[in-house]
Amino acid sequence: MAKFTREEIIRRTEELAKMIAETEEVEFYKRAEQQINNNKKVNEKIAQIKKLQKQAVNLQHYGKYAALKDTENKINQLQQEIDELPIVDEFKQSQNEVNDILQMVTKTIAANVANELEEKTHKN
């Protein structure tokens, strides 16, 4: 079995990362993210959320808990409205698909390393 240096492992990991970045799932994720970033409705709601979050910090600081709860409810409502947009749902689905690929790669590497270690342990 060949021995690899850390540098070789890093180089091959970078190659793997490039391969993953060029998958259909990652390309779709990038397009969906770009669409969200360019979506006026999403950007307006995000701006409203940020404004309300600043208000919430001030309300909490001054102990105005009833107003704070109302502001938090408004934030939650806006977040729900964003989450219900089809473009956001597509983005989240693509994010899950990319995460699945990364999880699969991580688990495959871990399993193969564990198998190699086990084989070497049993040979000795």
Establish how many alpha carbons lie within 13 A of residue 15's alpha carbon, considering only the half-sphere containing its beta carbon.
6
Q: Taking Cα atoms as reference points, which of 80, 76, 79, 55 lies closest to residue 67? A: 55
SS3 84: coil
Give the DSSP H/E element, type plus range, for residue 119. helix 86-123
pLDDT single digits (tens) 33-49: 999 999 999 999 999 99
pLDDT single digits (tens) 1-29: 578 999 999 999 999 999 999 999 999 99
Domain boundaries, the chain: 41-101
The stretch 56-71 carries a mean pLDDT of 97
The pTM of the full predicted model, rounded to 2 decimals, is 0.74
pLDDT single digits (tens) 89-120: 999 999 999 999 999 999 999 999 999 888 88
Structure tokens at 94: 């693509």
What gap in Å lies between CA 102 and CA 47, rounded to an integer? Answer: 31
Q: 41-101 — its CATH code?
A: 1.20.1500.10
